[in-house]
Every structure is written in structure tokens, then in C-alpha cells.
Amino acid sequence: MENKKGILGYLLNNRHRSRTISYTMVAAAYILLEILLKTGNLSNLFTGLLVPATCYLVAAIGLNLNVGVSGELNLGQAGFMAVGAFSGVCVSGVLAGTVPPVLRLILAIIIGMLLTAFVGFLIGIPVLKLQGDYLAIVTLAFGQIVMNLIMNLYVAFDSTGIKFSFVESKFTLGEGGKYLINGPMGATGTERIANFTAGTILVIFALVVVYNLIYSRSGRAIMAARDNRIAAESIGINIAKTKMMAFVISAALAGAAGALYGLNYSTMVASKFDYNTSILILVYVVLGGLGNFNGTLIATVILFLLPQLLRGLQDYRMLIYAVVLILIMLITNNEFLRTKAASLRKKKA
Amino acid sequence: MHSPAPLSDPFGLSDSALFYIDGSFSQNCKGSACPKPAMRRNAPRRPLQGALYRYEKHESGEPKPAMRFLSNLVTGLGLGSVYAIIALGYTMVYGIAKMLNFAHGDVIMVGAYVAFFAFTRFGMPMPAGVLLAVVCCTVLGVVVERLAYKPLRQASSLSVLITAIGVSYFLQNAAQLLWSASPKMFPPIISTGVLKIGGLSIAYLTLLTIATCIIVMICLTLFINRTKTGSAMRACSEDKDAARLMGINVNQIISLTFAIGSGLAAIAAVLLCANYPTVTPTLGSMPGIKAFTAAVFGGIGSIPGALLGGLLLGIIEILSKAYISTQLSDVIVFGVLIVILLVKPTGLLGKKLSEKV
């Protein structure tokens, strides 16, 4: 903060520019969408997409922390979302009727986040012992395991308390009892308490957490461990600890996103969170640019909306989505275009 | 396993079919909000052509525990052989191009459709249909490599990974447009009889599957170790730049690797569909992931590792389905993978083996 000139100078100084841009983008998008919502100019289709979009944004920001900043390929982000979603749904189901919706939503997200962070910590212990592609396949395996376990989980709730069961459901429920998670049927009859404002606040929260982390001492340690493990270790950085920190925060953000996502639908099945969802989020992160959170925001919104915008093309939309994906990768990695872009940038400077 | 769209993966289907055969269907269905009636309607009611669970239908009550175990073991070997053939494709491509080819599972799907149409619409005999599928998949693999992967030789591995995911989406959706999402029943490729050895009965199909796997392994090992092209492949997998200096056309070798991998995928497709006779556009994804797991299990990049990993994975999957829990078999399979990787971080045959291809 050498050239700090008031608050504007602080916000626009090089170190904080990307942070300022992120917050501005989110705030502007929120205000614009709220105006459109209030004046009734937003179609039902898009209104329904707002909350899921914020959920994917939060999950993608978390994943970018893990893949971009910490440099570990994670193919199981959806598994963490599943943990958050189903714990959030349970919290909300148990508290229904006694706690007002807003507080219930906050509690569900916080508990979902904490529980997922704990699960992330447990999974992180074995996962972070591995490296490279082996680490990636193990996160994929964990994602599948979590999804399969939740698919066989039965949670019910009645006046006597919460009941868990595994694989087979054999509860005798008292008066007013109901299933919160019903094995392969998932969570049904959830009260839809998620809303766009909560989603936006969560996105801002995720950005604050991530930016404060990467501009801190710990964040620099994480990046040092990514760039050169041995050199980082030699100057006294605890690799296991820094990697674990990024992994757990990434998982926690995915859990919070999952909790919000789960409370946005009246029914939710665990198979929604299979490896395809993990890969979808990874695509957002890679196309946005590794370690670039503004890129993540833009890429997530565009790629999330793209299939919807192509809806007019009906059956062809996913085909076109696939072609766009391949073309973006081919164009951004084209040697000729790259050298051109580099020379243009040089001229500007 | 009980996804609301049970047609999405072949193993989901086989699970639901197992419910009918071993009678656990009714046991598992006690809760008030039971999801299974819906599945019952969707699940194929016709008798299983698939031989993998045939032993369950024993006419005279339960088979003896030892026989049941042996029978499960053979069934596991059959499934493992299919995984091993798919895993070979993953491991070869990884060994030479250093990329995770996420589209490999979808090449299997294309092979399955080609074989399906060859058998049903054109009435081709078995070898001709298989050959056609192999040719189509080989061409597809080479074309995909040329168009999508070759321009990315110098790019980061994540870019290549995303491109492979794009190719996978493309193939799945193209298949859905061309052939619709409704599942098609794969015809039986050989007689559905069983070979009886003592008290043990093994379906001919399982024998064929295992035999094919052995033949493929022998041919591939001979090719890699005894031919000039094979040693060029080994050279490429060890050091591409040095191989180039030795006058090896590295691009050609990579294309050839994709061709072989995709051709093997077609063979695997026919065997897979003969055992689990439902052809859908997403048919390849789950076996693809499992085979990828198998390749990592055995040490990715190693050919014997792929065989070992595939067979072990198949056996573990069938045994856990038979003795522990049908629903949790995937949990067990992936759990074993994690344990193995923690004990041996580069897979079973990962580092020891110098001949990585």
C-alpha cells in the first residue's frame, strides 16, 4: 500500500483492482436484475435460473481457489455440494415452523458449510498425500462415494428427534413425523426458502473470503507451494497445512453453495451431484482462467446461461455447447493468435 | 443406483434387474414412500440375456456357498475383462500423449451403436459387425485426435482435459440426435448356453469375454515389445524429444495410439453390450469412469497394470454386489481405489515397470 491516496486510490491500486472489479460486477448485476425483477421484465425461465447461477458461482469460486490458486485438480466439487445441500435441507426441515425462513436459511447455509468443511478436512487428509492426476482421480472417487452414500441415506424426523438409517428405511415415525432424506428419492417436500438476495450475499461472501485469503501471508504461501513445492518447503512453508487450508475453504464454499441450491428446489436427488456436475464447474473455472476470479464470474454466468440462450435450437443446444467449448479451447491455445495478442499487449504498454 | 431415469447407465439397469432375480427386491421395499414401483415399470421385464447374473437362476434352489463364490469370481473376471480392455485405451493414451482422454467412454458408446445397427438393421454376422465397429471407432478416434487434440499439443494439460470433455459432450449429444435417447436392446452375439464344469456353470459369453481379453493382451504385448512400431511407441512414452531426434514421427505414433485405443474400445463395446444389453447415448460414461479408475488402480501408463486393475476392479465390484450390498458396490470399488493409492501412490504396477506405454 505504498501509494495509498484515500479510499479510491486504495480500491484502484494494482493489488486491489481485480477485487474492486469483482465486487462492482456482482453489485451491478444484482441491481440490474433486481430492477428487472421488480418491473416484471424478467421471464419466468430466467427468474428460476438466478439462484442456481449464484450457487454455481460460489462453487466455482471455491474450486478456483483449489485448482487455480492451490494448483490441485479437484474432480469432486459436486460431492461437497451434495453434502452441503442435504445437510442444509435437513437443518431447514428440522427447524421448520419454529424459526423464521430468513434465519433458517442462514442457519442452514452455515451448518451446511461447516459440515462440508469438516468432510473436506477428512477427505483432504488422504487426498493431499497424492499428487497430480492421481490426486484428481481420488477426488473423483470421493465425489462418487459421497453421492452414493447420500443416495442410500435415510433421515427422518418426528417429535422424538432425528433418525438416521443406512441402506434400508425402517423407521416407525410418530405423529407429524416426516422423511427429510429418503434414500434414492432424495429430499422431497422441501420448503423453498432460498432467494436471489441471499445468493448474491453468498457470492460476495465467497469473494471476500477468497480475496482476503490470496492477498494474505497464507495465500502467498499457498501459491508458493503451487509454484515450487520444494523451494516453498525450504523456506519453512508447511505444504500440508497450506494445501489443506485451500482444500477445506474450497469445500466449505461448495457446501454453502450446495445448501442454498438444495433449499431452492422442493425436491432434490443426490444423483444431481454426480461427476458431470463437478466437471461442469471445472469447465467454468478453466475457461474463466485459473486463479482469475473475475474470469470465473464471467465464464460461469456465460456458460451457465448459454444452454438456456440456445433453447431456441432445441435438441441442438448441447451439441452447440460442446462445439463452443472445444472451439474456445482451440482458439485460446492457438500459437498464432497467442503471439498476436502478446504483441498487441506490448504495443499498448 | 436408483436414479429416477434408470436408463441412464447400464449398471444401474443391471442392479434393478438383480432385484428380480435374487428376490431381494421385495425385502428392500418396506418404506412407505418406496421408489421401486416406478423402477419396476421402467426396468426391462424380459429375461436377462446378460450372462453375468445367470447363475442366480439356478433351478434347484441356492447353489452351494463355495460354488456361488467361484461363480461370482468368474462373473467378476468377465466384467473385469471388459474393464481391462477399456482401461488399455486410457492407459496407452495417457502413457504416450500424457492426457486423460475423457471422451474414451463415448467412443465405446459409438462402437456399441455401430455394432447394434450392424447386427439388427443390416443383419451382419458377428465377426463382420465387430470388425465394422472396430473400423468405425478407429476412424473416429483418429479424426477426433486430429481435429481436437493435435492443435493442443503444447497447451496445458487442463486445456486438453476440457477439450476432451467437450468431445465427450459432443459425441453423447450427437448420438442422442442421431439415434434418440430411447434405449435399444442389444441382440445376443453368441448362444446363451452355459458350460457346466462340476457344479459350476459358466456362460459361454463370459468365457468369450475372458478369452477376448487374453487374446487382446497377448497381441498388444507382442506388438509393443516385438515390432519396430511398438518400440517407437515405447520410446515416445519415455521421452518424446529424444524419440523425435531418433527419427520417430511422434505425431504419427500418437495417432496410432488413439487408433489402437479406440479400436479396443469397439471390442469392449460389443462385449459390454452383450453382457448388459441396453444401448443408450450415455452408455459409455460409467464403464469409462470405472475403467479409468482401473487404469489408475494398476498404475496409469502401464499395460499389465491396466489388465490387473481391470480384473481386480471387476472382481471387487461383483463380489461386493453379491456379498455386501448392491447399492454400495460403487462406494466399495472407489474406496478400494483410494486405499490402494494411499499405500502405493502410483498404482499397483506404476513405478516398478520401466516399459510404460
pLDDT, one tens digit per residue, over A264-286 is 998 888 888 988 889 889 989 98
Residue A32 C-alpha cell reads as 440490474
Q: Which residues of A touch B347 (CB under 8 A)?
A: 134
Option in A129, A140, A269 nearest B4 (CB): A269
Residue B1: closest CA among B326, B336, B334, B335: B326
Residue B222 C-alpha cell reads as 507382442
**Could you tell me if residue A309 is inside a domain?**
no
Residue of chain B with shortest Cα separation from A137:
B293
Q: Are residues A128 and A248 in the same domain?
A: yes
Q: Are residues A74 and A20 in the same domain?
A: no
A165 or B178: which leads in pLDDT: B178
Q: Given this model, what pLDDT does residue A348 score?
A: 65
Domain carrying residue A69: 50-275
Q: Given this model, what pLDDT does residue B9 score?
A: 37
Option in B102, B159, B177 nearest A329 (CB): B159
**Could you tell me if residue A135 is inside a domain?**
yes
Question: A228-271: per-residue pLDDT in tens?
Answer: 888 998 999 999 999 999 999 999 999 999 999 999 998 888 88
**Could you tell me if residue A321 is inside a domain?**
no
Option in A282, A321, A330 nearest B151 (CB): A330
Residue of chain A with shortest Cα separation from B164:
A326
Q: Which residues of A touch B28 (CB under 8 A)?
A: 168
- Contact criterion met (CB < 8 Å) for B31 and A333: no
Q: Are residues A161 and A254 in the same domain?
A: yes
Distance from C-alpha of A29 to C-alpha of A12, rounded to nearest angstrom: 20
**Could you tell me if residue A136 is inside a domain?**
yes
To the nearest whole Å, the CA of B272 is away from the closest chain A CA by: 22
Q: Are residues A129 and A166 in the same domain?
A: yes
Residue B276 C-alpha cell reads as 448388459
Q: Are residues A54 and A71 in the same domain?
A: yes
**Could you tell me if residue A255 is inside a domain?**
yes
Best probe of the A interface among B91, B106, B159, B168, by most A CBs < 10 A, is: B159
Q: Of chain B residues 287-326, which have a CB less than 8 A from chain A?
A: 289, 292-293, 296, 300, 325
Best probe of the A interface among B11, B27, B106, B161, by most A CBs < 10 A, is: B161
Question: A300-347: per-residue pLDDT in tens?
Answer: 999 888 888 877 777 787 788 888 888 888 888 877 777 777 777 777
Distance from C-alpha of A56 to C-alpha of B180, rounded to nearest angstrom: 30
Identify the residue whose cell numbers are 443446444: A317
Q: Are residues A4 and A138 in the same domain?
A: no
Q: Are residues A196 and A111 in the same domain?
A: yes
Q: Are residues A194 and A77 in the same domain?
A: yes
**Long-range contacts, stretch A137-140, CB < 8 angstroms, 24+ apart:** A137/A75, A137/B292, A137/B293, A137/B296, A137/B337, A137/B341, A138/B337, A138/B338, A138/B341, A139/A73, A139/A74, A139/A75, A139/A76, A140/A75, A140/A76, A140/A275, A140/A278, A140/B289
Q: Of chain B residues 124-183, which have a CB less than 8 A from chain A?
A: 148, 151-152, 154-155, 158-159, 161-163, 165-167, 169-170, 172-174, 176-177
The pLDDT tens digits along chain B (357 residues) read 333 333 333 343 333 333 333 333 333 333 333 343 334 344 444 444 444 444 444 445 566 788 888 888 998 999 999 999 999 999 999 888 888 888 999 999 999 999 999 998 888 888 899 999 999 999 999 999 999 998 888 888 888 888 998 999 999 999 999 988 888 888 888 777 788 877 788 888 899 999 999 999 999 999 999 999 999 999 998 888 999 999 999 999 999 999 999 999 999 999 999 888 889 998 888 898 889 889 888 888 888 999 999 999 999 999 999 888 888 888 998 998 888 888 888 888 876 444 444
Size of interface A-B (CB pairs under 8 A): 144
- Contact criterion met (CB < 8 Å) for A182 and B31: yes
Q: Are residues A201 and A219 in the same domain?
A: yes
Q: Are residues A35 and A64 in the same domain?
A: no
Q: Which residues of B touch A138 (CB under 8 A)?
A: 337-338, 341
Contacts of B258 (CB under 8 A, 6+ apart): B93, B97, B141, B142, B144, B145, B149
Residue A297: closest CA among A24, A10, A17: A24
- Contact criterion met (CB < 8 Å) for A326 and B166: yes
Q: Are residues A35 and A176 in the same domain?
A: no
Q: Of chain B residues 248-277, which have a CB less than 8 A from chain A?
A: none
Going across the sheet that includes A178-182, the strands are A161-166, A153-158, A178-182
**Could you tell me if residue A317 is inside a domain?**
no
Residue B231 C-alpha cell reads as 518400440
Q: How many domains does chain A have?
A: 2
To the nearest whole Å, the CA of A72 is away from the closest chain B CA by: 11
Option in A148, A184, A290 nearest B328 (CB): A148
Question: A48-67: per-residue pLDDT in tens?
Answer: 889 999 999 999 999 999 99
Residue of chain A with shortest Cα separation from B336:
A141
Which CATH topology does B10-294 take? Answer: ABC transporter involved in vitamin B12 uptake, BtuC (1.10.3470)
Option in A130, A182, A326 nearest B341 (CB): A130
The ranges assigned to domains in chain B are: 10-294
Residue A273: closest CA among A65, A74, A86, A66: A86
Residue A285, amino acid = V
User: Cβ of B342 under 8 Å from any chain A Cβ?
Assistant: yes
Contacts of B177 (CB under 8 A, 6+ apart): A315, A316, A319
Q: Which residues of A touch B30 (CB under 8 A)?
A: 168-170
- Contact criterion met (CB < 8 Å) for B2 and A151: yes
Identify the residue whose cell numbers are 518424446: B240
Q: Are residues A19 and A73 in the same domain?
A: no
